[in-house]
Structure 1
Amino acid sequence: MQMNATYTSLVAVGDSFTEGMSDRLPDGSYRGWADLLAARMAAQTPGFRYANLAVRGKLIGQIVAEQVDVAVAMRPDVITLVGGLNDTLRPKCDMGRVRGLLEEAVERLAPACERLVLMRSPGRQGPVLERFRPRMEELFACVDDLAARHGALVVDLYGAPSLGDPRMWDVDRLHLTAEGHRRVAEAVWQALGHEAQDAEWRTPMPASDPLGWAARRAADARFAREYLLPWIGRRLTGRSSGDGLPAKRPDLLPYEIREAPKR
């Protein structure tokens, strides 16, 4: 990979991970790794353009139907695609269909950009990861195969123990904290051939004293009440957290840096 590569545009495609949940800004909006990456790229390339088509809750079929053609029409230098993980978390999941849709997305996106970036998504350590690990690893094997066939980059976040640390995850246990998103931005930045700004993104967080039994039970109760039960309710009624929401940044426009990129 060429070091200090220069790219003039970026389009991010995906779901809540790429939208930036739960890296919340003071105004209530979400930032996330893709915004942080765009800020870094804009800082070194005047006129840099950025679009983020991601919408929380989207399944891979919805990403293909709603985002892929839009991204292709923009013809950016870089496209990032992360999708399919929401499918693997559903009680019923046709992995053959997921693989086929992901392949369709890659086949359409790869010729439309100079560099297509795929990811092996991070997974929070715990019982949920263990339950769905076989599906996730089947998805990631598909990602690796497609990257090899289409010349795409793969950023291996799943293989970084630092991002599995529960402290890197918000209280909903599904989305990364601001620190987690910062590390993902660094990982993609380096994969694109840029000089490291933080060479230690894979380094685990310092050890801390474990929570006591009462604190763990309180956290579990809050998680169930505020996140797990609403999630189950949406599944039972066929709804999604992203229903009716527009793309985060639907147009490929010059990116205005509102703050210095975090190191």
Structure 2
Amino acid sequence: MTSYSRYVALGDSQTEGVGDGDDRTGLRGLADRLAERLAAIEPDLHYANLAVRGKLAHQVHAEQLDAALALRPDLATVVAGFNDLLRPGFDADQVVGHLDAMFAALTAHGVVVATLTFPDVARITPLARPISGRVTAMNQRIRASAERHGVVVADTTPYPVVTDPRLWSTDRLHAGPLGHQRIADALAYALRLPGADDRWTESLHPPLPARGALSTAANELRWAATFLGPWLGRRLTGRSSGDGRTAKRPDLLPVRDRRKAPDAATADRPRP
């Protein structure tokens, strides 16, 4: 079994953990969940998360790769490109070219790298149907690039459960807590971690009841007004949800200490 002691996560909002917690209480997310699982195997694991929401693939490449290499990880996850899918000028070759460059640089330094494929967003929201072809094109290129560089792929695309609304937050752009856990489990399984299995592929029960056409249309209109409109507004004004933000965990820190250390305000109090 391969043992990991230094895990670094690169990416955008999914890796940062948006949808799993909030900015007031703190974000968890797929990378935190994977780090906790790794730490159960290797208690001395150190973990850094360089991801920032809203970043495009070229920004993840330009802003996070050098910082990741400087941390000398033995394991890295690279998950980026979903924000690019939604842009008018999407170019699958260009986007995956940035992922390919990150895969090449990290594996050249002996890092074990893991990544994901993306679900068909049209099965999450019908309004996204026009970009289904983009998802297919990007996933094909991610698989090919990963094969070239020996990158581990958690191929989530074939499984219907990944588009179950119960795995997604209300904005339909970010996984919810259950979705982040399933992604972390998929990565653990792809990395062949002890105790990992393929239960993450199983459908949720009970199945969701079918929606009628009128209910579906009303739901789509509410989603467009609540989430799509503001997103388009940011695009038109050149703003990003990541403006002014920095990585939540830029340094390699012990996972076990972060989770289990006593609170500084109470550590020295005598027990009753």
* TM-score, normalised relative to structure 2: 0.86
Q: Secondary structure at the match of 2:77?
A: strand
**Taking structure 1 as reference, are residues 108 and 70 closer, same or farther at Cα in structure 2, changes over 3 Å only?**
same
Picking from 81, 101, 107, the partner of 1:104 is 101
Match of 1:67 in 2: 64
Alignment of 1:51-90 (within 5 A): 51-90=48-87
Give the aligned partner of residue 156 of structure 1.
Answer: 155
Secondary structure of 2:182's aligned partner: helix
What residue in structure 1 maps to residue 263 of structure 2? Answer: none
Asked whether the 8 Å contact 1:39–1:257 carries over to 2, the reply is no
Rounded Cα–Cα distance in structure 1 between residues aligned with 2:107 and 2:132 = 27
Counterparts of 1:131 and 1:86, CA distance in 2 = 15
Which residue in 2 is equivalent to 1:247? 247
Q: Which residue of 2 aligns with 1:20?
A: 17
Alpha-carbon separation, structure 1, partners of 2:15 and 2:201: 19
- When residues 26 and 103 of structure 1 are mapped into structure 2, their CA distance, relative to the original with a 3 A threshold, is closer
Match of 1:190, SS state, is helix
Q: Normalised by the size of structure 1, how large is the TM-score?
A: 0.89
1:36 counterpart = 2:33: yes
Structure 1 residue 190: Cα displacement: 1.3
Structure 2: which 5+ residue stretches go unaligned? 261-272
Alignment of 1:181-196 (within 5 A): 181-196=180-195
Number of corresponding residues: 256
168-177 vs 114-123, greater mean Cα deviation: 114-123
Deviates more, 1:88-97 or 1:209-218: 209-218
Structure ranking higher on relative contact order (CA contacts 8 Å, 6+ apart): 1
Q: Distance in 2 between matches of 1:211 and 1:138?
A: 30
Paired residue for 1:226?
226
Q: Please state whether the residue corresponding to 2:200 is helix, strand or coil.
A: coil
Q: Hey, what's the Cα distance between the residues in 2 that align with 1:144 and 1:178?
A: 26
> Which of 118, 135, 138 is residue 115 of structure 2 equivalent to?
118
- Offset at 1:51? 0.5
Write the distance in 1 (CA, Å) between the matches of 2:21 and 2:61.
27
Please report the RMSD computed on the Cα atoms of aligned residues, expressed in angstroms: 2.1
Query: Which structure has the bigger radius of gyration?
Result: 2
Question: What is the match of residue 173 of structure 1?
Answer: 172
SS in 2 for 1:201: helix
Q: Structure 1 counterpart of 2:238, which letter? A: G
1:11 partnered with 2:12: no
Change (3 A) 1:191 1:250: same
Residues 62-107 of structure 1, C-alpha deviation per residue, up to 9 Å, x if partnerless?
Answer: 0011001111111111010011121111122233322322222222
Partner of 2:235: 235
Contact preservation (8 Å) 2:160, 2:203: yes
Runs of 4+ aligned structure 1 residues displaced above 4 Å come to: 211-218
Q: What one-letter code is carried by the residue in structure 1 that aligns with 2:113?
A: L
Q: Percent identity?
A: 42
Partner of 2:259: 258
Q: Distance in 1 between matches of 2:120 and 2:92?
A: 18
User: How far apart are 1:218 and its partner, in Å?
Assistant: 5.2
Q: Once the 2 structures are TM-superposed, how far is the Cα of residue 244 of structure 1 from its aligned partner? A: 0.9
AA paired with 1:22? G
Q: Give the 3 Å change call, closer, same or farther, for CA 229–26 of structure 1 in structure 2.
A: closer
Comparing 45-54 with 24-33, which one deviates more in the overlay?
24-33
How far, CA to CA, are the matches of 1:187 and 1:131 in structure 2? 27
**Displacement after TM superposition at 1:128 (Å):** 4.3
**CA distance, structure 1, for counterparts of residue 141 and residue 94 of structure 2:** 12
Q: Is the Cα contact below 8 Å between 2:127 and 2:220 reproduced in 1?
A: no
Paired AA for residue 176 in structure 1 = A
The Cα shift of 1:213 comes to: 6.2
